[in-house]
Amino acid sequence: MVIDLHPEFGLELTLGITYAYWLHERGELEKVRTVKGMKPFYYFCDNVEEVYEHRTINNKDAGLDNLPNNWIHHNAVALFGKDYGELTFEEQNSCNGRLDYSKWSVPPYKKTYLTDKFNTDKPTIFVSNRYNFEHGKRPLGYFDIPFLNETFNYLTENGYNIIYKRPKNNEFALDENETIALINGYTDIVSDVDGIGRMTDYQLTEYYDNITLMDDLIISSGYKLPTDTNNYNKIQLQILSSVDGFISMGGGGGLLCSVFGVPNISYFNTGTECKRDDYFGEDNYYTKMSNHDFYPILDPVSDIEERGYRDYTELTKKIKEVFNNG
């Protein structure tokens, strides 16, 4: 069987790689054709061709229709034998966020990539942020600087190290939303910080002794921007395998944080996850990625637009509940 696809990263991770690994376990995977930089995610396949320079948000063009699951938000046909629109309201709710797991297996990334190279004397929390166009609109789903400042203060004061990731969109193959963000100049999260002044999120991390930018870790480990994308992803997987918990934005980055078997608190506001009832049931694919402790925090975009700001109250409460270094 040949896997050939170039969708958004989160869809490839959840729908494509899981099928490829299932085929590998049965000796049925012949070749993978994928996006530049993805070989470390397909470490189990000896025949990986990186043929695509870009990803696409057009699922039909991305190669998803050749997979057992071609849509990330449900698989109504596999679960009920009919299209989503033909289901009753109760049936829709029961299949929201559920996939067909009969041909679905997550590679053991932590077992494969765990190394003591990134071990520290304190537990480490990985904060995964993003800043992109979403659904054709300006960035809305991201952690702003006031939230980051409060969270960094809490975690560092309670004995944690932090690794902070917010891609600059020059580290890997981009999809249309990421490309539009760059074209329109959405490259920095900027805000005023009391007592310090105006700064970016990257600059904020410089005020803490025990916060490290993931890209700095990767560069210090031998990665050369922007050409060696395979080495970037290999080192990233090693880092993610070494941390003790995640605070993530929902989406592709949050999905990646869900495969390492440690708590992941993920914040959702712009996606389908906030629009469908019972999305995060026990068979949700986020939880299935590694049967970890997964905590979804929902702040729907409609509520944000009505009140005029993102409300991180429940997210902060959950962070303090889960990461108390007790």
pLDDT tens-place string over residues 271-321: 889 999 999 998 999 999 998 899 999 999 889 889 999 999 999 999 999
Give the rounded percent of residues in the chain with a pLDDT score beyond 70. Answer: 92
Strands 190-193 and 197-200: antiparallel
Could you tell me the two tokens for 275?
């629009």
Query: Using an 8 Å Cβ cutoff, are 32 and 49 in contact?
Result: yes
Helix 145-157 and helix 313-322: axis angle, to 10°? 20
CA distance 224 to 234: 13
What is the CATH code for 110-322? 3.40.50
What mean pLDDT is reported for the chain?
91
**Within the chain, which residues score under 70 in pLDDT?**
135-136, 169-177, 180-181, 183, 185, 223-228, 326
**What pLDDT is recorded for position 1?**
95
**What pLDDT is recorded for position 232?**
86
Q: Where in the chain is the domain with CATH 3.40.50?
A: 110-322
Q: Which residue has the tokens 């480490």?
A: 124
**What pLDDT is recorded for position 258?**
97
**What pLDDT is recorded for position 108?**
97
**What pLDDT is recorded for position 174?**
67
**What pLDDT is recorded for position 227?**
59
Q: What are the C-alpha distances in Å from 172 to residues 32, 120, 284?
A: 18, 27, 27
**What pLDDT is recorded for position 223?**
66
**What pLDDT is recorded for position 226?**
54
**What pLDDT is recorded for position 228?**
66
